[in-house]
């Protein structure tokens, strides 16, 4: 066999052994490598399962909240259905989606890129099936499922309107916090104002405990729990719990009479009351049984115009009759004529509460 010269050996080493085209390495050229590499694949169909009530999506058997619109969801699903090997450099995807019916859409997909130095492109179609299914949360709510009730009551009285509103607002804030944190089954299924107070029906024991604790922290009082066995599941006992929230007889913002003086309640536990004397501003603590009477709440106060001040006495105009009255205030209080102050009436006495 004749001996090859160096130039002939170099030429032979720099050609593709399959097609004879130039090859820098002497191995398969880029075009032949592309032909041997299944670089692109596409799934024919994808399914999106969503809840028609709340819009959440079901993926891998788990429901998750979803805020994206239909087109954004469709493009995400189609992009997942198209598979390109990592060797493709800077792939560009083109996706066009057309609705064929209320439950079906068709996506036209194009892909371009560079593979082994060669420009490549391909196209496919992906069918999108929109499948409706009621999610776990909505299914429980529509089925009146619950695991507990938060009952808001008050000692020796009915909860006042502002306490009912505050408790309902706290419950809503807790529910929104749970939902944002991904606790889908921690929901409020019903809020009912009764003749005795407020009943809040909850979907999980965790949200029930959080609502009860937050109400007591804001309004005072105490909590007691009353579990009731309702059955078993997989050998585990199931309970529904009543969270009894008992507000104190006197709540924050109440004006009370103690030792012949007026005081504003700052905090109450049901036994002890922390209050601030109206005239002196001093904070004191007393037992609930030592309260002489209930005057009202600072929310019942009205705006009065200050007409004059002499020492610890201010003159104010009644907003209904325009008659001038005198009202005592602490000497250290910074009040001048022309300002407005919050006044609560106790018979003929006027109490400046704000």
Residue 257 confidence class, pLDDT cut points 50, 70, 90: very high
Q: Mean pLDDT score of the chain, rounded to an integer?
A: 86
Q: Which of 109-123, 204-218, 272-286, 340-354 has the lowest mean pLDDT?
A: 109-123
pLDDT of residue 54: 85
pLDDT of residue 12: 53
pLDDT of residue 214: 95
Q: Distance from CA of residue 103 to its chain's centroid?
A: 30
Residue 10 confidence class, pLDDT cut points 50, 70, 90: very low
For the cut 60, the answer to whether the pLDDT of residue 7 exceeds it is no
pLDDT of residue 106: 94
For the CA atoms of 225, 228, 231, 232, what is the dihedral angle to 10 degrees?
30
Residue 18 confidence class, pLDDT cut points 50, 70, 90: low
For the cut 80, the answer to whether the pLDDT of residue 6 exceeds it is no
Phi first, then psi, for residue 52 (nearest 5°) are -70, -15
Q: Which of 86, 88, 130, 84 has the alpha carbon at shortest distance from 107?
A: 130
pLDDT of residue 34: 66
Tokens of 10: 């170099």
Q: Distance from CA of residue 29 to its chain's centroid?
A: 58
Q: Report pLDDT digits (tens) over 24-63.
A: 565 667 667 766 667 788 889 999 999 988 888 988 888 8
pLDDT of residue 333: 81
pLDDT of residue 8: 46
Q: Report pLDDT digits (tens) over 297-321.
A: 998 899 999 999 988 899 999 998 8
Q: Report pLDDT digits (tens) over 184-199.
A: 889 999 999 999 999 9
For the cut 50, the answer to whether the pLDDT of residue 348 exceeds it is yes
């Amino acid at each position: 066999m004749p001996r090859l010269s160096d130039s002939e050996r170099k030429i032979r080493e720099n050609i593709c052994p399959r097609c004879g085209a130039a090859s820098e390495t002497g191995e398969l050229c880029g075009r032949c490598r592309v032909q041997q590499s299944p670089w692109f694949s596409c799934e024919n169909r994808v399914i999106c399962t969503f809840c028609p009530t709340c819009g959440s999506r079901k993926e891998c058997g788990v429901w998750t909240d979803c805020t994206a619109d239909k087109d954004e969801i469709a493009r995400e699903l189609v992009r997942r259905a198209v598979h390109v090997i990592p060797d493709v450099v800077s792939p560009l995807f083109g996706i066009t989606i057309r609705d064929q019916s209320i439950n079906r859409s068709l996506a036209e997909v194009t892909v371009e890129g560079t593979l082994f130095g060669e420009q490549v492109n391909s196209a496919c179609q992906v069918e999108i099936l929109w499948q409706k299914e009621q999610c776990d949360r909505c299914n429980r709510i529509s089925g009146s499922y619950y695991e507990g009730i938060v009952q808001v009551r008050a000692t020796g009285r009915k909860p006042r309107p502002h306490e009912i509103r505050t408790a309902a607002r706290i419950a809503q804030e807790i529910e929104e916090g749970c939902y944002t944190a991904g606790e889908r089954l921690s929901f409020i299924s019903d809020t009912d104002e009764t003749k005795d107070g407020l009943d809040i029906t909850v979907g999980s024991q965790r949200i029930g405990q959080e609502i009860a604790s937050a109400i007591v922290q804001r309004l005072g009082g105490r909590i007691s729990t009353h579990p009731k066995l309702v059955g078993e599941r997989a050998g585990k006992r199931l309970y529904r719990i009543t969270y009894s929230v008992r507000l104190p007889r006197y709540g924050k913002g109440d004006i009370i009479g103690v030792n012949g003086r007026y005081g504003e309640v700052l905090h109450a536990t049901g036994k002890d009351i922390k209050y601030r004397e109206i005239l002196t501003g001093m904070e004191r603590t007393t037992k609930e049984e030592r309260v002489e009477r209930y005057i009202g709440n600072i929310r019942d106060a009205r705006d009065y115009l200050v007409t004059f001040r002499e020492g610890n006495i201010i003159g104010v105009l009644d907003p209904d009759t325009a008659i001038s009255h005198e009202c005592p205030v602490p000497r250290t209080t910074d009040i001048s004529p022309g300002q407005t102050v919050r006044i609560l009436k106790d018979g003929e006495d006027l109490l400046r509460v704000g």
